Chains A and B, each alone.
Chain A
Amino acid sequence: MNYVIIGNSVAAVGAMRAIRASDPTGNIIVVSREKHTAYGRPLISYLLGGLITEKRMPYLPDDFYEKNRINLLLGNEVVGVDTKAKKVKLADGDAIAYDRLLIATGGDPFVPPIMGLEDRDNIFTFTTWDDAAKLKGIAEEIERAVVIGGGLIGLKAAEGLHLLGKQVTIVELADRILSAAFDRPAGRIVAKKMKANGIEVINEDTVVSIEGEGSVITGVTLKSGDFIPCDSVVVAIGVRPAASFLKGSGIEVNRGIVVDERMQTSVKGVYAAGDVAEAKDFFSGTKNPMPIWPDAYIQGDIAGSAMTGGDKDYPGGLAMNSIEFFKVSTISMGITNPPDGDEFEILTYLDQETYTYRKIVIKGNTLVGAVLVGEVDRAGIFAGLIRDRADITSYREELLRPGFGFINLPKEVRSALFAPAGKVTEHGQVARAVGH
């Protein structure tokens, strides 16, 4: 069996492990356009800010590829897939035959047309190790940077530059930063912390023109007419599934590559996982791209298992983020900004002074979302309850308590999780499992 994987980040790694778990002998070929072995992509802001060295970037043990007999082709870009002949075409003209193909190419940074963008140097995106290395490489020339986009990537880029002693201004089109991942109070706490550290945050505005002389940037002009002097610009508006090379392949691409419960695309034998895929959502079941690290691993695992004939189904993507800004920990999961109405119940606790915030979102008798700022310990218990669609009726009042734990759950649930087999329940009932 020939397995070909395009891409070499976390979804690809999940697939490699899953394939090797049930097929020790098949050929695995991994093609990546990047020149590095798998690395912790979210670590690029740590690298930029000097919090870690390049030595910490590799995501896998040194012997991983060799031990798992994986043929790794780095610095090779796939330019097309011929699904009839079952071959992938490389930029250098070579073709690789496959029996099972996984597309795990991730996302490409989205760069909108902005006046002056083409003519200037010192314009960066921030999604790869090389992006971070480039920025770090010219860091001495940077004094003042503008970051376009107040999402997770933009904020982390801003934080990294700030750690290098640069003046940073974030420009965000929405009325608040982190509008996708966090709710309003959590976004406000983070914004407050950023401003307290000297990072300027401008909301409800956007960059319309990058000004300069020749290739040198002198500043940016905003829609409002304001001018911000700067010498470099980071474009961090978002990522788009990297699927453009599939044109004409017959593989259905909507916003991302559309996949079923086993991560199979519209073409049999071809799978997709990670940021490039459009898989079902945990709650609604509707398909949309979800660029979330843990979810990419899980999708890769499901795809790898399916490629070897396994029958694990994808439970659906559950959004989750754990990010620290200026030592304030923030974790969000599930539905954090529910629409108004009676359908959802929201419990909150807020202390602006100590940067502590807790929000629980309930639908019917189930937990569907949580936001924690500051005291984030044991947040995963909530993730388990969400994933298991556990009935929270008996402990719903306890959920906001900082010490919430298994002691608040029914005894049979605790026993199912922590007691030895055979001592699981009191009355011979089968306990409902929480977590897995």
Chain B
Amino acid sequence: MKRIYTLEDVCIGCHLCEVACITEHSRSKDPVKAFLHEPERPISRCTVEEWDGGVISLSTTCRHCDEPDCLRACISGAIQKNDSGVVRIDTEQCVGCWSCVMACPYGAIQRNLAKKKANKCDLCPDRLTPACVEACPNRALVYKEGSQK
């Protein structure tokens, strides 16, 4: 399956991947509206980590594991891996117990505290290429076929 990979040497630490992710998962899909006017701003599914004021940076996100630890830890069955291999959370079913947060070795599951629901990368079901990858100005994010690591 296609996965999102990171080239940290060319990451400029601009966080545009996070902006794109939030926008894509907002109601309006418009960045200004999503950040300023929507009552519940989504949480970014990718996390940019920085070191030494941004000298080193990289965007980390879900690996859509072959044997997902999050799925195995989920107590409600909200996390499922579909036939194409994409690991998704059914937020209706999620009870916000954070077992997936405890189990994911990639730190790729976010807590939406306002909604008490776990969030994770869904590889943007409405797009051909995930929003974060398209938004990256220096092509530090790559969407291609490959294994989880």
A196 CB–B CB distance under 8 Å: no
Instruction: Give every chain B residue within 8 A of A320 (Cβ-Cβ).
Output: 73, 102-103
Cβ contact within 8 Å between B98 and A46: no
Cβ contact within 8 Å between B98 and A329: yes
Cβ contact within 8 Å between A376 and B98: yes
Cβ contact within 8 Å between B105 and A419: no
How would residues 13 to 54 of chain A score, 1 for a CB under 8 Å from any chain B CB and 0 otherwise?
A: 010000000000000000000000010111100100001100
How would residues 71 to 92 of chain B score, 1 for a CB under 8 Å from any chain A CB and 0 otherwise?
A: 0110111001000000000000
The 8 closest A-B pairs by CB, nearest first: A384-B105, A435-B105, A378-B107, A59-B77, A380-B104, A420-B5, A294-B73, A407-B49
Instruction: Give every chain B residue within 8 A of A417 (Cβ-Cβ).
Output: 60, 63, 106, 149
How would residues 58 to 69 of chain A score, 1 for a CB under 8 Å from any chain B CB and 0 otherwise?
A: 111100000000
Instruction: Give every chain B residue within 8 A of A157 (Cβ-Cβ).
Output: none
A276 CB–B CB distance under 8 Å: no
Which of A52, A329, A383 is within 8 Å of B103, CB to CB? A383
Q: Which of A177-227 contact B (CB under 8 A)?
A: none
Closest Cβ of chain B to A231, distance in Å, is 29
Tell me the complex Cα distance, A289–B60, Å. Answer: 36
Q: Which of B44-59 contact A (CB under 8 A)?
A: 47, 49-51, 56-58
Please judge, given known A-B contacts A56-B95, A61-B80, A419-B6, whether A406 and B102 are in contact too, CB under 8 Å.
no
Closest Cβ of chain A to B1, distance in Å, is 13
A423 CB–B CB distance under 8 Å: yes
Please judge, given known A-B contacts A61-B80, A416-B149, A418-B58, whether A294 and B72 are in contact too, CB under 8 Å.
yes
Cβ contact within 8 Å between A420 and B72: no
Tell me the complex Cα distance, A329–B98, Å. Answer: 8
Tell me the complex Cα distance, A423–B58, Å. Answer: 15
B125 CB–A CB distance under 8 Å: no
Cβ contact within 8 Å between B101 and A297: no
Tell me the complex Cα distance, A329–B111, Å. Answer: 11
Q: Which residues of B contact A (CB under 8 A)?
A: 5-8, 47, 49-51, 56-58, 60-61, 63, 65, 67, 69-70, 72-73, 75-77, 80, 93, 95-107, 109-111, 142, 144, 146-149
Instruction: Give every chain A residue within 8 A of B8 (Cβ-Cβ).
Output: 411, 414-415, 418-419
Cβ contact within 8 Å between B76 and A56: yes
Cβ contact within 8 Å between B147 and A406: no
Closest Cβ of chain B to A315, distance in Å, is 12
Residue of B nearest to A381 (CB): B107
How would residues 270 to 301 of chain A score, 1 for a CB under 8 Å from any chain B CB and 0 otherwise?
A: 00000000000000000000000110011001
A322 CB–B CB distance under 8 Å: yes
Tell me the complex Cα distance, A52–B97, Å. Answer: 13
Q: Which residues of A contact B (CB under 8 A)?
A: 14, 38, 40-43, 46, 51-52, 56, 58-61, 293-294, 297-298, 301, 320-324, 329, 331, 333, 376-381, 383-385, 387-388, 405-408, 411, 414-421, 423, 433-436
Cβ contact within 8 Å between A43 and B72: no
Tell me the complex Cα distance, A142–B63, Å. Answer: 48
Cβ contact within 8 Å between A423 and B75: no
Residue of B nearest to A64 (CB): B77
Instruction: Give every chain A residue within 8 A of B72 (Cβ-Cβ).
Output: 14, 294, 297-298, 301
Cβ contact within 8 Å between B49 and A380: no
Please judge, given known A-B contacts A14-B72, A301-B67, whether A407 and B51 are in contact too, CB under 8 Å.
yes
Residue of B nearest to A39 (CB): B77
Tell me the complex Cα distance, A355–B100, Å. Answer: 21
Besides A43-B75, A60-B77, A405-B47, 5 other CB < 8 A contacts? A297-B73, A322-B99, A322-B101, A380-B107, A419-B6
Please judge, given known A-B contacts A322-B98, A406-B49, A436-B65, whether A59 and B76 are in contact too, CB under 8 Å.
yes
A–B pairs, 10, beta carbons within 8 Å: A40-B75, A58-B77, A380-B70, A381-B106, A405-B49, A416-B149, A417-B106, A418-B149, A420-B142, A436-B67
Cβ contact within 8 Å between B60 and A418: yes
Cβ contact within 8 Å between A407 and B56: yes
Which of A43, A380, A435 is within 8 Å of B101, CB to CB? A380
Closest Cβ of chain A to B47, distance in Å, is 8
Closest Cβ of chain A to B112, distance in Å, is 11
Cβ contact within 8 Å between A294 and B69: yes
Closest Cβ of chain A to B17, distance in Å, is 13
Cβ contact within 8 Å between A322 and B149: no
Which of A324, A377, A381, A385 is within 8 Å of B97, CB to CB? A324
